């Protein structure tokens, strides 16, 4: 069910769009990655609701159907983290479980460090605690393309790159050939292409231009995370070479964190190994719920 929430962000009030299921259950917020959208988790909300969770998947500011300020200064990890805490307030949640994917995992870390008392559990998925190791020249070029020609031009440029994206794994290619995206359709390849295009075109150019350097230049959080007393699961696809080592390091930094490497998955395990992803997530969340308030991490 699509809903819109008026959120008091750190810098301004704004509207966040979200889909939800299981209203009245245990609170769980699922946060997509860079140029992603709430639809990245929408197909799992029913399963989570059936397991007793009030699952909410928002569009971050500058993404999907949420508010998108036009100035680049309106985007950084701290501001996005403030939006998540504001959304929890708008939902009436005192404490909640938080899952963040990729850039959303970075935002979730910042939120956890800012307000650890708000979190029942933390799930960090295919993400990093510090600067993302990508080709800086290409990253800077992508920002210049977006500033000059917008997201549509970026899509054309990315499609023309012979080497493709570092996140385009064998697992992702297998899914594109075997079943359709959340958009549905008859042709799997066309369905996933349309899904990716829709998310990219819905992303704000200002957000893109601000968050690329924000992710590449962010300070390393491992030392701060070593003091985090929140039950934590770190999940990563076995083929996600860009973030696999970062996730191992991240799990090692957080006391008692559980690390789960999802077989036959790349950067998007919820799409590429959906049943395994749900099983790992629910096993962890059920353990935390069963342990009661204030439960710490586990190895």
So what's the pLDDT on residue 150? Answer: 97
Please provide the average confidence, as pLDDT, over all residues in the chain.
Answer: 94
Indicate whether 105 pLDDT > 70.
yes
Q: Domain span at residue 21?
A: 2-132+220-291
**For residue 64, is it within any domain?**
yes
What pLDDT band is residue 168 in, cutting at 50, 70 and 90? confident
Q: What is the pLDDT of residue 79?
A: 98
The secondary structure element, H or E, covering residue 239 is: none
Sequence-distant (6+) residues with CB within 8 A of 271 are: 40, 172, 175, 181
pLDDT score recorded for residue 241? 94
pLDDT higher than threshold 80 for residue 55: yes
Q: Identify the CATH number of the domain in which residue 6 sits.
A: 3.40.50.1820
What's the average model confidence in pLDDT over 67-86?
98
Whole-number Å distance between alpha carbons of 207 and 211: 6
Starting at the earlier edge strand, list the strands of the sheet with 53-58: 2-8, 13-21, 53-58, 26-31, 96-101, 119-125, 232-237, 258-262
Tokens representing residue 57 in the block: 């998947």
Interatomic CA distance for residues 74 and 61, integer angstroms: 9
Domain presence at residue 197: no
What's 289's DSSP letter? H
Distance from C-alpha of 298 to C-alpha of 146, rounded to nearest angstrom: 43
Residue 170 falls inside a structural domain: no
- 27: how many CB neighbours lie within 10 A of its CB? 20
Residue 199 lies in a domain: no
Confidence of residue 289 (pLDDT cuts 50, 70, 90): confident
Q: What is the pTM of this model?
A: 0.95
Burial of 89 (0-12, 13-18, 19+ CB in 10 A): middle
Of 278, 246, 256, 267, nearest in space to 50 by CA: 278
Residues 20-47 have pLDDT tens digits of 999 899 999 999 999 999 999 999 999 9
| pLDDT for 92 beyond 50 | yes
Q: pLDDT confidence of 134, banded at 50, 70, 90? A: very high
Q: Mean pLDDT, to the nearest integer, of 133-160?
A: 94
Hey, which residues does 26 pair with through a beta bridge? 53
- Of the ranges 3-12, 209-218, 288-297, which one carries the lowest mean pLDDT score? 288-297
At 294 the pLDDT is 46
**pLDDT confidence of residue 297:** 38
Q: Is residue 180 part of a domain?
A: no
CA distances from 154 to 40, 199, 249 (A): 21, 13, 32
Q: Say if strands 232-237 and 258-262 run parallel, antiparallel, or are unpaired.
A: parallel
Question: What is the count of structural domains for the chain?
Answer: 1
Residue 56 forms beta bridges with which residues? 20, 29
Residue 156 lies in a domain: no
225: pLDDT confidence band, cut at 50, 70 and 90?
very high
């Amino acid at each position: 069910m699509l809903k819109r929430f008026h959120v008091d962000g750190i810098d301004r009030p704004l509207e966040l769009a979200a889909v939800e299921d299981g209203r009245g259950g245990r609170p769980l917020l699922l946060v997509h990655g860079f140029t992603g959208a709430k639809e990245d988790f929408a197909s799992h909300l029913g399963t989570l609701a059936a397991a007793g969770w009030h699952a909410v998947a928002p569009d971050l500011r500058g993404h999907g159907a949420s508010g998108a300020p036009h100035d680049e200064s309106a985007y950084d990890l701290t501001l996005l983290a403030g939006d998540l805490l504001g959304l929890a307030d708008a939902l009436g949640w005192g404490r909640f479980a938080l899952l963040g994917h990729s850039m959303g995992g970075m935002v979730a870390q910042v939120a956890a460090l800012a307000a650890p008392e708000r979190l029942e559990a933390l799930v960090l998925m295919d993400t990093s605690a510090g600067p993302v190791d990508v080709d800086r020249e290409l990253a800077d070029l992508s920002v210049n393309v977006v500033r000059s020609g917008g997201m549509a031009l970026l899509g054309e440029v990315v499609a023309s790159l012979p080497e493709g994206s570092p996140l385009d794994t064998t697992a992702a290619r297998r899914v594109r050939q075997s079943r359709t995206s959340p958009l549905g359709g008859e042709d799997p390849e066309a369905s996933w292409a349309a899904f990716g295009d829709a998310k990219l075109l819905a992303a704000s150019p200002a957000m893109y231009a601000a968050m690329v350097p924000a992710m590449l230049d962010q300070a390393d959080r491992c030392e701060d995370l070593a003091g985090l007393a929140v039950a934590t699961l770190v999940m990563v696809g076995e083929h996600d070479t860009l973030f696999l080592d970062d996730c191992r390091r991240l799990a090692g930094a957080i006391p008692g964190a559980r690390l789960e490497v999802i077989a036959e998955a790349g950067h998007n395990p919820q799409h590429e190994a959906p049943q395994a992803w749900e099983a790992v997530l629910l096993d962890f969340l059920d353990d935390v719920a069963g342990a009661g308030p204030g439960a710490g991490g586990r190895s």
